Chain A
């Protein structure tokens, strides 16, 4: 439920996850897996922290444009809902399609893909 108006007309799947970010934050502890990605000039940074267990808990932090934040929120939300098995099917095109990210912002989805790859390596399948 959005409390602000999307006056700049971001795609709705982006806007809803940018404007309200229930998965924003950072998990701490020895059992937390932390991965991060950045654009080449570090003009945007995206980080996921994940705690496996009976209930998977995922949080994100980000510095960047609304698309960057929305990618973080969406990945956290998707992983919590579908479990780490979802990692197998998540890549940049899937992220772009789900969030309706336009071409000129494709790099935000690529950051998401970088995070997914890093998680695949870090998590025992």
Chain B
């Protein structure tokens, strides 16, 4: 099995695992970080050390980091929390059609309750432009929510360029940076983003833990979405899971150290894979290669059906635009937003190599894909070579 699905989730790095185990198997490691005794203080110190590690990767201050159960909660908290705090009737939000489900579903839910949302569509390269966002602004625009890197295509949106221009206009800017953290340099000291969501398990950390950056100066204000106990400066209640948090801290510290190496490695593998797939005619790289994150390659294959393509590649762990077996999934809404038809969106594969992926694995994966695509095309009465 060749694992090429690092954009979905990553293995926990052994060093991260060790950092977590310290708080799972140590007799003094299990305290509740909110407790006021020796064990509680010990756990609290670990939580604060991890907070500083996460902040460091993002160029933030430690007290700007709020722990959550993952990016889905971070995105929910950012959007619902900011809108609820402002409590502005008839508020307007700008977002895009290629956001992660946790942003799309949250906004759709609020839309049903009266929120007005401008859904921007990407250009043919899969990008939302800064001009698009700026021209969608209205006097009552409360928030712009835009992802830094798209999780299907890897396309980088111009959030760095956009942030100061939204700041000038006093519009709160939320960025889903789940696919950007640890992949691209992020410096929140220089880029005036107000709210930014990150997740540990896309960065060789554990599942079930994420964070929301909430800017202190100028202060981004949120109404809490989980009540009870007043943890996390009142913004997010619930017992902190020390081992998860320590794991996220270690993962982000590692990501900071390895940022350039990881990016170089990712780009090399991504381009190697694309070169090997290009022996096939009539395939399409989804998303503008000039603005691509290092770890993603998304390709559509003409003339074949998506489910059969996926089913004949059981040796590859990757995501596809089509569902197999009884699982229900629509052809990717992101690829359709890019202008691919249902068939082509369905016959697409998302490859995301990671730290441990080797060039030999890339070659083997490419060979399997090429063989299967050729076989299915040869069998198709609709394919005229």
Contacts and interface: CB of A to CB of B under 8 A. Distances in A.
Chains A and B touch each other in the complex, with CB atoms below 8 Å apart: yes
A24 interface: yes
Nearest to A21: B379
B140 to A, nearest CB: 42
Interface string B291-330: 0000000000001110110111011000000001110000
Contacts, number: 59
Contacts of A68: 305, 308
Contacts of A69: 308, 379
A4 B315 contact: yes
B325 A9 contact: yes
A63 B304 contact: yes
A36 interface: yes
Nearest to B368: A4
B379 A44 contact: no
Interface string A36-48: 1000000111010
B381 A8 contact: no
A5 B314 contact: yes
Interface string A95-111: 00000001010000000
Contacts of B310: 8
Nearest to A10: B325
B305 A4 contact: no
B236 to A, nearest CB: 38
B326 A104 contact: yes
A18 B308 contact: yes
Given A65-B307, A66-B311, A43 B343 contact: yes
Interface in B38-75: none
Contacts of B257: none
Interface in A8-57: 8-10, 18-19, 21, 24-26, 36, 43-45, 47
Interface in B343-385: 343, 378-383
Interface of B: 303-305, 307-308, 310-312, 314-315, 324-326, 343, 378-383
Q: 4 tightest CB-CB pairs across the interface, nearest first?
A: A8-B324, A8-B325, A63-B380, A7-B314
